[in-house]
């Protein structure tokens, strides 16, 4: 509505317009000068906004706007729009004299003279009753929803503003967290977090994640008003308007302490059951070791005792029997280490088909004449990186099992093929399958066959360590093993061995031949803390003309070396008491006396792997005299340094 107070209008018309405007009580109708200063005021304006004409005329109309609208420059924008477009029309919050707000419908028209000069603005404001009615209906709907949410007592459901302050609170939140609505509204939700979570910045991370991803869900400890803790499942959803602006967060928390306690009790029961099974396995393992070692010790003790009284012609047989028992004990410990994946492997890149084909005679000796050997070797088989000697032992163990499973003869088949299926973390592997046509294994015990000392054979017919060695070797090589069997139709054991990174023909085999024997007498520093072992080693080396100096520890050996004595070899035990062990000694020698060879002996130690990685040669205890002499010749040969410099580990067994 345009209101023009023309100076040329007759007094009667002017009075008529004034009476008309002043009689309107449902609309605020007033004039603004070009700068927005109020120049007239009707009773409707006074009723809506609360100012009398005397209070408001001469004041800027921006005082009717909210603080945020003023900061945003809304009053100036309204006048500029009306001046440039001929009208401004809109809705928004306006402020009365007493500071209360009301939702207003606003129309602003520019007032111009006949020449188009801007004289001011006519402004009409009215209370938008229909909108208020809609808002009231919406409010009632929201109130119903609030009552619904408030009635939920098993969940804490409440809103957070964008800064994380609690905006509302339901009865479930009060029951779970202990705060009343009056106590918590306006406080930051981080009050529910533990000190350690606060220190880690978890509340801010939760809101940031919800804001970025739309949702945050996690379980953790939360703190009640009284300081007690409960285990909570927490979900935080970001709430946005239609334009994507963040309005706040909806937070739902559930106390799941009882569920967690039940889960923990179940887990404790599972752990207890697992522990009981483990103790049973240890008991079985211990019994098996005791049984087999007692048998072997009986043979050794009996033959040595008879040796003291035997006539000359019987002594060689008694000695051979004792040595055979020692060899069996050595094999037993190797199989146990293989199962436990504690043995030191010497992997090399090999062409598997050639190795398997070359084992024909060895496998035939482990089988019988009525067992036929079949080979099904795939073309273009990938090379593998494994310890070849341990694989040979595994195949011999499988052959022995197959022989016993086929008492009336049958077929023993070895098959190789490339396997691109994911096996035990390997993307690419070579599958080596060994199949027999024997009696098979019952399904109820099939899952136990890889356990040490478990056997389906009669007492005294097997140690129960053959398949344990196979399984341990495959696992320690970075591969896996599985078994399939059917009673009356045979058994298949498959090893999945890791594919080598480079072709076998491009790699130098680490198990190179030993150098030619030499009659040269060597000056050897023997480092061994066990005097009985030292006596044996000294005697064995002395038989070949070597001159021995003994030291009982690594520190004693270093003191001897520092005294400027000259040696051709240091032969040391790997595991010794004291601050420094054999590996520390070898490292020091390589630093101070790099030309002095070192040979380490070990029964078993975690340090074996580090010695192999550092190209320090090892010999396994118990060692045979010939093996010890070969090792000494190897590490003192002129070729040794060249092999070590090229990182080809001198393999000593």
Strands (DSSP E) along 197-228, which ranges? 215-223
Please give the pLDDT value at position 68. 93
Does domain 272-339 match CATH 1.10.287.130? Answer: yes
Closest C-alpha to 571, from 560, 590, 586: 586
Give CB contacts under 8 A, 24+ apart, made by 285-292.
285/452, 285/453, 287/453, 288/452, 288/453, 288/463, 288/464, 289/332, 289/336, 289/453, 292/332, 292/463
> What CATH number matches the domain at 523-645, 3.40.50.300, 3.90.1150.10, 3.20.20.70, 3.40.50.2300?
3.40.50.2300
CATH 3.30.450.20 domain residues, the chain: 11-127, 134-255
Q: Count CB neighbours of 329 within 10 A.
A: 18
End-to-end CA distance of the chain: 108
Please give the pLDDT value at position 146. 64
Please give the pLDDT value at position 170. 87
The answer to whether 586 and 580 have CB atoms below 8 angstroms apart is no
Residue 378, CA distances (Å) to 27, 166, 417, 429, 507 in order? 97, 70, 5, 13, 21
What is the longest distance spanned by two Cα atoms in the chain? 159
CATH 3.30.565.10 domain residues, the chain: 348-506
Residue 632, CA distances (Å) to 529, 617, 625 in order? 20, 10, 11
Please give the pLDDT value at position 9. 45
Please give the pLDDT value at position 197. 94
Closest C-alpha to 500, from 351, 651, 343, 341: 351
Please give the pLDDT value at position 60. 95
CATH 1.10.287.130 domain residues, the chain: 272-339
What pTM did the predictor assign? 0.40
Q: 11-127 in CATH: which number?
A: 3.30.450.20
Could you tell me the mean pLDDT of each successive run of 10 residues in the chain, 653 residues long? 48 58 73 93 87 93 93 94 93 90 90 91 82 70 62 81 92 91 93 94 94 93 94 93 90 90 83 65 54 58 70 77 67 56 66 86 81 90 84 83 88 89 69 92 78 56 63 81 89 89 52 49 91 84 90 92 91 85 90 91 70 79 80 82 51 44
- Residue reference for tokens 């023997």: 526
CATH 3.40.50.2300 domain residues, the chain: 523-645
Instruction: Report helix, strand or coil for 69.
Output: helix
**In angstroms, rounded to a whole number, what is the distance separating the alpha carbons of residues 128 and 66?**
17
Which CATH fold topology does 348-506 show? Heat Shock Protein 90 (3.30.565)
Residue 171, CA distances (Å) to 57, 160, 180, 343, 400 in order? 51, 16, 8, 63, 73
Please give the pLDDT value at position 455. 61
Which CATH fold topology does 134-255 show? Beta-Lactamase (3.30.450)
Please give the pLDDT value at position 649. 45
The answer to whether 28 and 124 have CB atoms below 8 angstroms apart is yes
Please give the pLDDT value at position 17. 53
Instruction: Report helix, strand or coil for 546.
Output: coil
Closest C-alpha to 5, from 150, 97, 111, 130: 111
């Amino acid at each position: 509505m345009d209101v023009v107070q023309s100076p040329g209008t007759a007094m009667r018309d002017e009075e008529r317009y004034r009476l008309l405007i002043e009689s309107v009580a449902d609309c605020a109708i007033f004039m603004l000068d070009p700068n927005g200063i109020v120049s007239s005021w009707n009773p409707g304006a006074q009723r809506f906004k609360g100012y009398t004409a005397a209070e408001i005329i001469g004041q800027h109309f921006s005082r009717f706007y909210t603080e945020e609208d003023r900061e945003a420059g809304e009053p100036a924008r309204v006048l500029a729009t009306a001046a440039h477009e001929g009208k401004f029309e809109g809705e928004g919050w306006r402020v009365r004299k007493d500071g209360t707000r009301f939702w207003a419908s606003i129309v602003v028209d520019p007032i111009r003279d006949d020449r188009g000069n801007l004289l001011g603005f006519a402004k009409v404001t009215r209370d938008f009753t229909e909108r208020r009615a809609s808002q009231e209906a919406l409010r009632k709907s929201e109130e119903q929803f609030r009552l619904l949410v408030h009635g939920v007592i098993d969940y804490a459901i409440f809103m957070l503003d964008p800064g994380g302050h609690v905006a509302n609170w339901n009865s479930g939140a009060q029951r779970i967290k202990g705060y009343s609505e009056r106590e918590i509204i306006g406080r930051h939700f981080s009050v529910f977090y533990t000190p350690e979570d606060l220190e880690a910045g978890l509340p801010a991370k939760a809101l940031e994640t919800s804001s970025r991803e739309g949702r945050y869900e996690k379980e953790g400890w939360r703190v009640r008003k009284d300081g007690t803790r409960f285990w909570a499942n927490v979900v935080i959803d970001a709430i946005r308007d239609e334009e994507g602006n963040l309005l706040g967060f909806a937070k739902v928390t559930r106390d799941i302490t009882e569920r967690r306690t039940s889960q923990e009790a179940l887990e404790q029961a599972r752990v207890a059951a697992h522990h009981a099974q483990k103790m049973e396995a240890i008991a079985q393992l211990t019994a098996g070791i005791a049984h087999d070692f007692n048998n072997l010790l009986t043979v050794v003790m009996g033959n040595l005792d008879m040796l003291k009284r035997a006539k000359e012609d019987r002594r060689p047989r008694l000695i051979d029997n004792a040595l055979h028992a020692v060899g069996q004990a050595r094999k037993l410990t190797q199989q146990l280490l293989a199962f436990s994946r504690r043995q030191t492997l010497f992997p090399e890149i090999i062409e598997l088909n050639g190795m398997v084909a070359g084992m024909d005679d060895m496998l035939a000796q482990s089988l019988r004449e009525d067992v036929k050997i079949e080979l099904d070797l795939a073309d273009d088989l990938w090379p593998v990186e494994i310890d070849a000697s341990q694989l040979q032992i595994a195949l011999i163990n499988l052959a022995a099992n197959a022989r016993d499973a086929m008492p009336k003869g049958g077929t023993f088949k070895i098959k190789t093929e490339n396997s691109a299926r994911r096996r035990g973390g390997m993307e690419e592997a070579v599958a080596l399958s060994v199949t027999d046509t024997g009696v098979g294994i019952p399904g109820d015990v099939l899952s136990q066959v890889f356990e040490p000392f478990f056997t389906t054979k009669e007492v005294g017919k097997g140690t129960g360590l053959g398949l344990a060695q196979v399984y341990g070797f495959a696992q320690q090589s970075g591969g896996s093993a599985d078994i399939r069997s059917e009673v009356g139709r045979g058994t298949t054991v498959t090893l999945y061995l890791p594919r080598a990174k480079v072709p076998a023909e491009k790699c130098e085999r680490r198990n190179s031949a030993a150098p030619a024997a030499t009659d040269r007498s060597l000056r050897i520093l023997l480092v061994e803390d066990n005097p009985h072992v030292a006596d044996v080693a000294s005697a064995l080396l002395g038989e070949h003309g070597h001159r021995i100096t003994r030291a009982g520890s690594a520190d004693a050996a270093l003191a001897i070396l520092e005294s400027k004595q000259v040696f051709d070899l240091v032969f040391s035990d790997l595991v010794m008491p004291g601050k420094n062990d054999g590996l520390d000694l070898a490292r020091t020698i390589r630093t101070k006396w790099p030309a002095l060879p070192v040979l380490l002996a070990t029964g078993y130690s975690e340090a074996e792997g580090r010695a192999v990685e550092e190209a320090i040669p090892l010999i396994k205890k118990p060692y045979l005299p010939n093996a010890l002499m070969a090792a000494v010749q190897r590490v003192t040969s002129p070729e040794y340094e060249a092999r070590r410099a090229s990182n080809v580990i001198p393999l000593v067994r």
